A and B are shown apart, each in its own frame.
Chain A
Amino acid sequence: EPEVTQTPSHQVTQMGQEVILRCVPISNHLYFYWYRQILGQKVEFLVSFYNNEISEKSEIFDDQFSVERPDGSNFTLKIRSTKLEDSAMYFCASRDGTGKEKLFFGSGTQLSVL
């Protein structure tokens, strides 16, 4: 089965630093998402992206966050100035927009902000 791939699997950064989390969605998919999961808590929606623009974002996704699809394959999440509370597992997901439209999740990037 095709996969969503994410890099890196782990990222450690200092508070205030910028991080970029990278994702390669499944190639024929049209809708892209970022979710996060703080340890022991639920999976939370951050942002959805379709047709080269943000289609919806949550209140978590403030001005410190941005997304980009710089080419036909990559989808990135940038956190401009990380805070301790940004420490979480970040999941990228994609779907094709047809049929059951289930989300395929990547294996996640564990971000630790020190």
Chain B
Amino acid sequence: GQNIDQPTEMTATEGAIVQINCTYQTSGFNGLFWYQQHAGEAPTFLSYNVLDGLEEKGRFSSFLSRSKGYSYLLLKELQMKDSASYLCAVRDMGAAGNKLTFGGGTRVLVKP
């Protein structure tokens, strides 16, 4: 099975930086994903890490440490539209389906 933990909620100011941590335990790790989800909408892909280190994509970066079972998503130069839930998800190496298992999500509120 898998266990994925991330904070429930975070608040930050427009223009600032926020770091969302995710810890996981899995029997067969095959990649970690971050998705953004606005209320009532589908999750949309943000980033993917399978090797240790930092992946940077514009204002968003994601870091992975497989030995620690730890990842973070860094959001820079926050904008009001970044207010959303951020979902950490781990891909299981198990069955052919390679499903993603999601954490509970971190709701980020960006204030002016």
Contacts and interface: CB of A to CB of B under 8 A. Distances in A.
A100 B31 CA distance: 9
B9 to A, nearest CB: 12
A103 B45 contact: yes
B48 A56 contact: no
A107 B97 contact: no
Contacts of A33: 97, 99
B102 A107 contact: no
Contacts of A41: 104
Interface residues of B, number: 25
A105 B43 contact: yes
Interface string A64-78: 000000000000000
Interface in B3-52: 31, 33, 37, 40-45, 48
B45 to A, nearest CB: 5
Contacts of B42: 91, 105-108
B48 A100 contact: yes
Contacts of A91: 42-43
Interface in A19-73: 31, 33, 41-45, 48-50, 55-56
Nearest to A106: B42
Q: Of residues B41, B42, B48, which shows the largest number of chain A Cβ atoms within 10 Å of its Cβ?
A: B42
Nearest to B30: A101
Given A43-B87, A48-B95, A56-B95, A104 B101 contact: no
Contacts of A80: none
Contact of B95 (A42, A55, A102, A103): A55
Interface string A88-104: 01010000000011111
A56 B99 contact: yes
A101 B99 CA distance: 11
Interface of A: 31, 33, 41-45, 48-50, 55-56, 89, 91, 100-108
